[in-house]
Amino acid sequence: MKFIDEARIEVVAGDGGNGVASFCREKFRPFGGPDGGDGGRGGSIHAIADRNINTLVDYRYAKLHRAKHGENGRGADCYGKGADDIYLRMPVGTLVTDLNDGAIIADLTEHGQIALLAKGGEGGWGNIHFKSSTNRAPRQKTDGKEGERRELQLELKVLADVGLLGMPNAGKSTFIAAVSNARPKIADYPFTTLHPNLGVVRVSHEKSFVIADIPGLIEGAADGAGLGVQFLRHLQRTGLLLHIVDLAPFDTTVDPVKEAKAIVKELKKYDQTLFEKPRWLVLNKLDMVSDDEREQRVKDFVKRFGWKGPVFRISALTREGCDALVTDIYDYLATQREQEQRAQTGIAEEALGIHSIDADDPRFKLHD
């Protein structure tokens, strides 16, 4: 299955059916009165998030989605039939944007979530609605309203807790294969990863998180070099970034510090919000460095890079240091979720006017 994370489509909702002006023509009812029915409602178009779909490839080729029109009303108080709605299944994490004004129509973040993309037109009124004591034979009717028509941009942003950053051949695919159930292509040449890979990391039976690997960046990616920054959008929903650095490149002329700074530069150029996300430094391929040189090479890199955050030393190939890194990641994510829940609870209580009670307040002391 070809991975497609971006598509443009057009959705056209159905028009409402027209109302009708009709009069009763039955034997023994010379003044039967108006009996024109209403038109049916036009079909609407909805998006529904489906976790069983992981690409937008279906919408790369099927660009036009049109709902049916509602039926016209008829005589004898017969109302027109409403058209069926259309439901477009999209991957969880799809962002739907209106191309005309840039407004966000839907952000599908949960399985089964439904969002209205284009509303069908309402049916017109028949002449039975215009009958009154002074107008017993109305000939008025209304036509159905047109359904909405929109041109939409579909953008898939995978839902992951942790994202991997790094130059091509830094060992990102080897790392995600070592710690998760993902099985990406691994080879001894750069750009083996051509599309994002997701993997579930199991810390224990009840503890897990999702990690995302994207194609490697190179200097000038923001200007279109290499695969560009087209896949960086998949890291925007993550809560933590792991900057993986090849500490023992095959080419001795390659400076790992220069490459690491280039990644940070491209990240900042792409999106300031993504640049400000929590980021940990992971020094990989330590199995390629002798025990005597490891400590000095790590200290030299951290000093020249000017890094002040967390530093982890691993070998994705031998899994050295990977278990400790995975445990620290889960603990960090669990702490962040707990803080977010507390913050949301505090906001909800403040909105409802609920205040915590101070146990030392004398007003709440028991008196004899």
With H, G, I as helix, E, B as strand and everything else as coil, classify residue 153: strand
Same domain, 130 and 174: no
- Give the pLDDT mean for 61-76: 91
CATH number of the domain encompassing residue 308: 3.40.50.300
Same domain, 116 and 172: no
Length of the chain: 368
Is residue 368 in some structural domain? Answer: no
Is residue 359 in some structural domain? Answer: no
Q: What single-letter amino acid sits at 183?
A: R
Element (H, E) at 341: helix 322-352
Confidence (pTM): 0.67
Secondary structure letter of residue 234 according to DSSP: G
Same domain, 167 and 262: yes
Is residue 358 in some structural domain? Answer: no
Q: Which of the listed residues 115, 131, 156 is the one where a domain comes to its end?
A: 156
Same domain, 2 and 144: yes
Q: Which of the listed residues 116, 135, 156 is the one where a domain comes to its end?
A: 156
Is residue 127 in some structural domain? Answer: yes
Same domain, 12 and 134: yes
Same domain, 58 and 203: no
Is residue 362 in some structural domain? Answer: no
DSSP annotation string for 257-314: HHHHHHHHHHHHHH-HHHHTS-EEEEEE-GGGS-HHHHHHHHHHHHHHHT--S-EEE-
Is residue 322 within 8 A of residue 316, CB to CB? The reply is yes
| Helices and strands counted in the chain (H then E) | 6, 14
Same domain, 190 and 62: no
Is residue 92 in some structural domain? Answer: yes
Overall domain count for the chain: 2
Q: Which of the listed residues 97, 128, 156 is the one where a domain comes to its end?
A: 156
Is residue 11 within 8 A of residue 43, CB to CB? The reply is no
Question: What's residue 42's pLDDT?
Answer: 94
Distances (CA, A) of 120 to 35, 49, 83, 86, 117: 25, 21, 9, 10, 10
CATH number of the domain encompassing residue 33: 2.70.210.12
Enclosing domain of residue 20:
1-156
Question: Per residue in 320-358, pLDDT tens?
Answer: 888 899 899 889 888 888 887 787 776 666 666 655 555
Integer Cα distance of 21 and 141 in angstroms: 6
Q: What are phi and psi of 287, to 5 degrees?
A: -70, -15
Is residue 100 in some structural domain? Answer: yes
Question: What's residue 226's pLDDT?
Answer: 47
Question: Per residue in 38-47, pLDDT tens?
Answer: 999 999 999 9
Is residue 354 in some structural domain? Answer: no
Give the mean pLDDT of the chain. 81
Same domain, 259 and 274: yes
Neighbours of 245 (CB within 10 A): 24
Same domain, 68 and 116: yes
Residue 296, pLDDT > 60, answer yes
Question: Per residue in 214-234, pLDDT tens?
Answer: 765 555 544 554 444 566 766
Same domain, 87 and 191: no
Same domain, 263 and 188: yes
Question: What's residue 7's pLDDT?
Answer: 86
Same domain, 10 and 142: yes
Secondary structure letter of residue 170 according to DSSP: S
